[in-house]
Amino acid sequence: MSTFYYFIQSVPECMGLIALSLAFAQVPLCWGRIFLGGALLSLLTFGIRALPVTFGFHLPISIFVMFLLIVKLTQAP
C-alpha cells in the first residue's frame, strides 16, 4: 500500500478511535484536537510498521500512545 493511501485510510480510523474513546468517557468532542491526535497516532503507527519488527508489535504501542494522547489533549478523567 502506498504511503498516500495509508494515510487516507489511517487518519480517519484513528480519529474514530479517539472520538469513540472520548464518547465512552463522556468527554466533550473537540474535533480539532481529535484530528491532531488521529494524525499523530497515524504517523506513529506508520513509523512502527516500517521498522523490521514482528507483525503486531505496533498494536500495544499504539494503544499506549492513544491513551497518552487522550489524557494530554483533553480533560479526560
User: What was the pLDDT predicted at 11?
Assistant: 95
Do residues 65 and 48 make contact, with C-beta atoms less than 8 angstroms apart? Answer: no
| Inside any domain, residue 20 | no
- Put simply, whether the predicted model's pTM sits higher than 0.85 gets the answer no
Q: Is the pLDDT of residue 75 over 90?
A: no
| Inside any domain, residue 36 | yes
| Inside any domain, residue 46 | yes
In angstroms, rounded to a whole number, what is the distance separating the alpha carbons of residues 19 and 2? Answer: 26
Cα of first residue to Cα of last residue in the chain, in angstroms, is 38
Q: Rg of the Cα trace of the chain?
A: 13
- For residue range 10-54, list pLDDT tens digits in order: 999 999 999 999 999 898 898 999 999 999 999 998 998 888 888
| Inside any domain, residue 77 | yes
Contacts of 74 (CB under 8 A, 6+ apart): 22, 27, 30, 33
